[in-house]
Chain A
Amino acid sequence: MKKQLLPVIAFALASVALGTGIALSQSPAVAAETATPTQTDPMQFARGAKAWANNCSRCHNMRDPKELRDDQWRAAMMHMRVRAGLTAAETEDILKFLQGSN
């Protein structure tokens, strides 16, 4: 029990520490992009369209942007970020594309 607690706590702490460490050391551009998604970036829609075409038919049939509302796409994209191993920046781009195409 005692010896088992250690690796779990170490794993959790290490990943949080690593996470915040990377978040803090992130380039300002990426940090800004993930922090303020409402910021207007004229290229975001185009990047999102490309990332959508490249990533969203890998595991299942391509879902139509019109299937979901803007808020539903937010949750679905967070879910898919976890499943597909997308970066936060790509997730934001694809979300912008889906919200602009539904």
Chain B
Amino acid sequence: MKTTPRPNLSGALWLLILLSASPVFAQSHADRIDELEAKTLAMAEELAILRAELEKERQAPDSEDMRSIRSESVAARQAAQNAEIAASEWKNSDSVTHLAGYASADYVSPENGNAAFVANFNPMFHFQYKDRILWEAEIEVEIEENGDTSMGLEYSTIDLFLNNNMVLLAGKFLSPVGNFRQNIHPSWINKLPSAPPGFGHDGAAPLAEVGVQLRGGFKIGEQSRMTYAGFIGNGPKLEGEDGEIHGIDTDGFTGDPDDEKVFGGRVSLLPLPKLELAVSGAFGDAAVVENDGVDFEGDPTRDYKVFGVDASYQWNNLDLRGEFIRQDIANEATSIAPEGGVWETWYLQGAYKFADAKWEGVARYTDYTSPHPDKSQEQWALGVNYLLAPSAMLKFAYESNTGLAGESTDDDRWLVQIAYGY
């Protein structure tokens, strides 16, 4: 059993005195309730006033403004979102089409013969699927002397991007042997209005190929890189004339009368970002398929070889480049044109931009040797260009040509050209 402790009377007394001193204790219970009631009423009144004011605010005419501002800001946010989506569509759609190309208009005035205006136009198409496939094609449209328009498929390839370092191309492509034909010949790129002798039709440098090509590049450390291209194609055709080989036709063919594929490629090394040194070549077979302008069948096949070296270097406003290339056809005793031959050319070019890079001076030396003396040519070309835009140039040039006396290859020429690439 618990024992109840005796209450401490003096403690209770003290407590009583203390409590009687406090004002709360002094207030009666009813007083307190009255006071609280009054406070609550006052608060309710205040609340009612505030509510009324708020309602007035809501219904006031300037609250319309507020609402429209609010809806405008919602619309703006929506528009910004839409713009972002639209912008990302431009960047990220799976398929892209792009129209490019270049055109030029020339005025050519030879020493002997008539001066004339010339025009051509090369539209170019790109169709791309993701980062995987690119179809690139270029059409070459030229107006001939008699007014006819000639059209050619300069190239058309489907490029498959295999990985970081490899692209597989199939179709008709510019020959990766040498550099001028594949990278420098477009008129907005070439710093002179003409191609160096030996880099045109029936010359020393192969033009195009129909086949498959694997190309790409690797970085070597921070500064250096290597690029490569290897191909298999149908190869060239030979044209016979008066029992001789008139020229090697390298336009790129869909037939292969000699029934032997041509293998070739190019490897370039860039020890510095703007110094490129390259070696290229190809080998295979070729046969005479046209004689004195008419189709010719049954001529035996013979060896075909190409070898090229090219280099380029840029430093500030200076641009230097050069290239050596030779095509070689073996002798074939039983052929309608038994004697083979070597078509060989090389050029060196220096260009310098001045006056705020608006003007450019160019000098180029070329020495082209063909088995036909009337085709061989040595040339000095000097030019001044005005750069209208990064890809638009007005070119003025003079060619000092030395060829067989009396031939057009011996005529000096003035050339003016306007070229624009897009």
Which chain A residues have a beta carbon within 8 Å of chain B's beta carbons?
1, 4, 7-8, 11-12, 15-16, 18-20, 22-23, 26, 30, 34, 37-38, 54-55, 57-64, 67, 69-72, 74-76, 78-79, 81-90, 92, 99
B168 at the interface (CB under 8 A from A): yes
B269 to chain A, nearest CB (A): 11
B273 at the interface (CB under 8 A from A): yes
Residues of A within 8 A of B170 (CB): 12
Partner of A76, one of B98, B160, B260, B268: B98
Let me know if B134 and A61 touch, CB within 8 A: no
Residues of A within 8 A of B188 (CB): 60
Residues of B within 8 A of A70 (CB): 87, 90-91
Let me know if A83 and B183 touch, CB within 8 A: yes
Once the chains are docked, how many angstroms separate the CA of A12 from the CA of B88?
A: 35
Once the chains are docked, how many angstroms separate the CA of A26 from the CA of B102?
A: 38
Once the chains are docked, how many angstroms separate the CA of A86 from the CA of B273?
A: 12
Residues of A within 8 A of B274 (CB): 54, 57-58
Residues of B within 8 A of A4 (CB): 256, 259-261
Chain B, interface size category, equals 35 or more
Binds A, one of B4-12, B104-112, B213-221, B290-298: B213-221
Let me know if B232 and A8 touch, CB within 8 A: yes
Could you tell me which residues of chain B, from 121 to 169, have a CB within 8 Å of some CB in chain A?
Answer: 126-128, 131, 134, 136, 159-169
Let me know if B162 and A78 touch, CB within 8 A: no
Let me know if A90 and B219 touch, CB within 8 A: yes
**Nearest A residue to B422 by beta-carbon distance?**
A67
B227 at the interface (CB under 8 A from A): yes
Residues of A within 8 A of B263 (CB): 7
Ordered by A's residue number, 13 sampled pairs between the chains whose C-beta atoms are within 8 Å are A15-B166, A16-B160, A19-B166, A22-B164, A34-B163, A34-B164, A38-B92, A54-B274, A71-B91, A76-B126, A82-B215, A85-B225, A85-B227
Given A16-B160, A76-B100: 13 more A-B contacts, CB < 8 Å? A4-B256, A7-B232, A7-B263, A8-B211, A11-B214, A19-B166, A20-B163, A23-B162, A54-B274, A58-B276, A75-B128, A78-B126, A78-B128
Partner of B164, one of A11, A61, A87: A87
Let me know if B261 and A8 touch, CB within 8 A: yes
Once the chains are docked, how many angstroms separate the CA of A87 from the CA of B220?
A: 11
Let me know if A22 and B162 touch, CB within 8 A: yes
B391 at the interface (CB under 8 A from A): yes
Known: A58-B312, A85-B215, A86-B217. A1 touches B259 (CB 8 A): yes
A31 to chain B, nearest CB (A): 8
Residues of B within 8 A of A67 (CB): 390-391
Let me know if B232 and A89 touch, CB within 8 A: no
Once the chains are docked, how many angstroms separate the CA of A79 from the CA of B167?
A: 11
B212 at the interface (CB under 8 A from A): yes
Interface string of B34-45 (1 = CB under 8 A from A): 000000000000
Chain A to chain B: the 5 pairs with minimum beta-carbon distance, closest first: A19-B162, A85-B227, A85-B217, A75-B98, A54-B273
Known: A34-B131, A72-B98. A22 touches B87 (CB 8 A): no
Could you tell me which residues of chain B, from 370 to 394, have a CB within 8 Å of some CB in chain A?
Answer: 387, 390-391
Let me know if A74 and B128 touch, CB within 8 A: yes
B97 at the interface (CB under 8 A from A): yes
Could you tell me which residues of chain B, from 151 to 199, have a CB within 8 Å of some CB in chain A?
Answer: 159-170, 182-184, 186, 188-189
